[in-house]
Amino acid sequence: MQSKDHWEQVYTTKASSGVSWFQDHARQSMQLIHQTGVDKDAGIIDVGGGASTLVDDLLEEGYAKVTVLDLSEAALSASKSRLGPRAENVSWLVGDITRVELPRHAYDVWHDRAVFHFLTAPAEREAYVQAVLRAVKPGGHVIVATFAEDGPDKCSGLPVMRYSADGLHAEFGAPFTLLQQEREEHHTPFGTVQKFIYCLCRKEPN
């Protein structure tokens, strides 16, 4: 099954709160976004945001330029329905982050929880990093969360890569400085625990 078909099937057959990665609030992500110190009019993109509630909390706190990108239209529809009229204040993009052409230097903050780890082919990871280099402003921030080295080896039934903070930072290379790393024990709706690593990096000015 192609990746897009996989994700459309997930989001058309399961409730947003019934998937292993569900969080009622993306607290660690919000904490790291606060840590960047960006203003409320900063451009923030949630890559592979799915039906995450991160966008709800960003809007609630007054962040005015939020974009959510995902491969799955059904995932974004779920978020739009949940938000109601507030969804009109968000830019929604359907696309594959390894192929989409994002506007140059458009975002102050790039956020990804549990998406980069699906990129098992080096060429996909290279394309992803190129997208970050293009779309994030010089001096902007990149927050990427993946399964940690002691995390699961599959997510949504698909194989994933697992990372240490240094290993994850190495994928992005010299244009990025690792500012902070956080471990998280994510409690799934099924009562299991998944170990995540979050990295906050700064994209150095050219």
Ligand X SMILES: C[S@@+](CC[C@H](N)C(=O)[O-])C[C@H]1O[C@@H](n2cnc3c(N)ncnc32)[C@H](O)[C@@H]1O
| Residues near ligand X, by CB under 6 A | 3, 7, 21, 48-50, 52, 70-72, 75, 96-98, 113-115, 118, 155-156
Residue in 140, 147, 144, 145 with CA at minimum distance from that of residue 175: 140
Residue number, 16 or 180, with CB nearest to ligand X: 16
Residue number, 13 or 206, with CB nearest to ligand X: 13
Residue number, 21 or 152, with CB nearest to ligand X: 21
**Minimum separation from the CB atom of position 204 to ligand X (A):** 25
Residue number, 64 or 100, with CB nearest to ligand X: 100
**Minimum separation from the CB atom of position 206 to ligand X (A):** 26
**Minimum separation from the CB atom of position 98 to ligand X (A):** 5
Residue number, 191 or 205, with CB nearest to ligand X: 191
**Minimum separation from the CB atom of position 67 to ligand X (A):** 12
| Amino acid identity at 92 | W
Cα 99 from chain centre: 16
**Minimum separation from the CB atom of position 12 to ligand X (A):** 12
Secondary structure string (H, E, C) spanning the chain: CCHHHHHHHHHHHCCHHHCCCCCCCCHHHHHHHHHHCCCCCCEEEEECCCCCCHHHHHHHCCCCEEEEEECCHHHHHHHHHHHHHHHHHEEEEECCCCCCCCCCCCEEEEEEECCHHHCCCHHHHHHHHHHHHHHEEEEEEEEEEEEECCCCCEECCEECCCECHHHHHHHHCCCEEEEEEEEEEEECCCCCEEEEEEEEEEECCC
Distance CA 92, CA 180 (A): 28
Residue number, 156 or 164, with CB nearest to ligand X: 156
**Minimum separation from the CB atom of position 137 to ligand X (A):** 21
